[in-house]
Amino acid sequence: MAMAQIWDVVIVGGGIVGAATLYKLQQRFPSKSILLLEKEALLSDHQTGHNSGVIHSGIYYKPGSKKALTCAKGRRELVAFAKEHGVKHDVCGKIVVAVDERELPQLEKIHQRGIENGIEDLRRITAEEIQQIEPYCTGIAGLWVGCTGIIDFRGATNKMAELACAINPASQVRTGEQVLDTLPQGAFTVVRTNKASHHAKCLIFCAGLQSDRMARADGVDVQEQIVGFRGDYYELSAKGKHKVKNLIYPVPDPRFPFLGVHFTRMTDGSTECGPNAVFTFKREGYGKTDFSLADTWDALTYGGTWKLFFKNMSYGINEYRRAFSKKLFLKTLRRLVPSLQMDDIEPGRAGVRAMLLGTDGEMVDDFRIERSGNHIHVLNAPSPAATACLAIGDHIVDLCVAEGVLAG
């Protein structure tokens, strides 16, 4: 095994939050040597590379929450970054559509939240305006959210890593290198991987689906646990593609923690429909039958998982039925686009969301970043973390400086 090298900072995890943290740290401290470690062969190969590709506006989040404060700030910076550095994106806007009167109070609540959060280009639209924007969509009222967009998050991640390494050629991004453990050694932490050992003055964990495990292994007292939820997508076929121009969202059901099945035009020109949300038996498993004994054991021996199941039993059953039934999935999609036919959609990809679940069965809704000595742990970074990544990176750098983790 190679001799240990001393790094000012080691970042564990090469998703977009890890890459944005690398980029922001290197901008603020151009002379610091920083190493980013990613176990997969490519950066952004889990949540970042499997998400819906949406630049979120920030309309849904509780005013004053970390999500609300960082989403809009991060969105504006991400769009400016994409423009400056040629990352594929399009601020095309989206509509949120109410299909019956029961959804109108929730639509109004979202509208007011958007106003409180200072979301620009936001307005109520009528049934007629819905059809002007999306001719095949049917609803009784809606919201136009003009600042929502789409982006190539993989491209953005790679560009951030590339720019950071250009600032200081001594810094490195290493893929295919998995962190096995960390050990304190005087003023340093020894980071042992499958390929080498590294000495780190400061360690930042952006481990996504493995964040709780990495934190516990590092001695952090984390009561909550990550539980994975797989989201399956369909794509509009060549026959059905003309029925959606950009982005169409339902009014989310406030009883459940997900936004509901929606339509998203991607930067490659395809249009995705989804996702659903089902418990996954493997944290990094994207197939319907993927299974990990360790992941399943961890999830099903955790009391919070069962409390979540019992609270959302009917919802969970319906999601599982849809996961294995194209007919049921199509029925849900037809609420927004009634003319869709079976041959208008075809099976697409899947993603897995890391949800930090409390012992009470409630999902931790807000971002959560904690310090333990000279180590920073991103414990919870659900959507809109990809949109907010540059703002999250700034927050992590500020935390390092304020807490004396990283001296100038």
pLDDT digits (tens, 9 = 90+) for 151-206: 999 999 999 999 999 999 999 999 999 999 999 998 899 999 999 999 999 999 99
Identify whether the C-beta of residue 225 lies closer than 8 Å to the C-beta of residue 298.
yes
Kindly report the number of other CB atoms within 10 A of residue 118's CB atom. Answer: 12
What is the pLDDT at residue 4? 66
Q: Is the pLDDT of residue 408 over 60?
A: no
What is the pLDDT at residue 309? 92
CA–CA dist 131, 375 (Å, integer)? 51
Q: What is the mean pLDDT of residues 51-55?
A: 94
CA–CA dist 248, 99 (Å, integer)? 12
Q: What is the mean pLDDT of residues 130-138?
A: 98
Q: What percent of the chain shows pLDDT beyond 70?
A: 98
Which run of H or E residues covers position 305?
A: helix 303-311
Residue with the bigger pLDDT between 144 and 253: it is 144
Task: Write down how long the chain is.
Answer: 408
Q: How confident is the model at residue 257 (pLDDT cuts 50, 70, 90)?
A: low
What is the pLDDT at residue 74? 97
pLDDT digits (tens, 9 = 90+) for 7-44: 999 999 999 999 999 999 999 999 999 999 999 999 99
What is the pLDDT at residue 405? 75
pLDDT digits (tens, 9 = 90+) for 346-392: 999 999 999 999 999 999 989 999 999 999 999 999 999 999 999 99
DSSP 106: H
Residue range(s) occupied by CATH 3.30.9 in the chain: 225-245+252-363
Rounded to 5 degrees, φ, ψ at 104 are -65, -40
**Residue among 233, 209, 374 nearest 285 (CA):** 209
Residue 367: CB partners within 8 Å, gap ≥ 6?
66, 67, 70, 378, 380, 381, 382, 385, 388, 392
Q: Is the pLDDT of residue 406 over 80?
A: no
For 192-223, b/e burial (b = at least 16 CB within 10 A) is ebeebebbbbbbbbbbbbbbbbbbeebebebe
What is the pLDDT at residue 407? 61
**Residue among 122, 32, 29 nearest 72 (CA):** 122
CATH topology for the 2-48+154-223+366-402 domain? FAD/NAD(P)-binding domain (3.50.50)
CA–CA dist 340, 49 (Å, integer)? 28
For domain 225-245+252-363, which CATH number applies: 3.30.230, 3.40.50, 1.20.1740, 3.30.9? 3.30.9
Chain Cα centroid distance, residue 182: 26
- DSSP 3-state of 197: strand
- Bridge partners for 357 per DSSP: 225, 363
Q: Is the pLDDT of residue 404 over 80?
A: no
Residue range(s) occupied by CATH 3.50.50.60 in the chain: 2-48+154-223+366-402
Q: Is the pLDDT of residue 1 over 50?
A: no
The residue type at 179? V
- Bridge partners for 97 per DSSP: 142, 250
Looking at every residue in the chain, the average pLDDT score rounds to 94
Q: Are strands 94-98 and 141-145 parallel, antiparallel or unpaired?
A: antiparallel
The residue type at 318? N
Q: Pull the structure tokens for residue 32.
A: 């610091």
Q: Is the pLDDT of residue 2 over 60?
A: no
Sheet with 54-55, strands from edge to edge, namely: 54-55, 149-151, 89-90
CA–CA dist 269, 278 (Å, integer)? 27
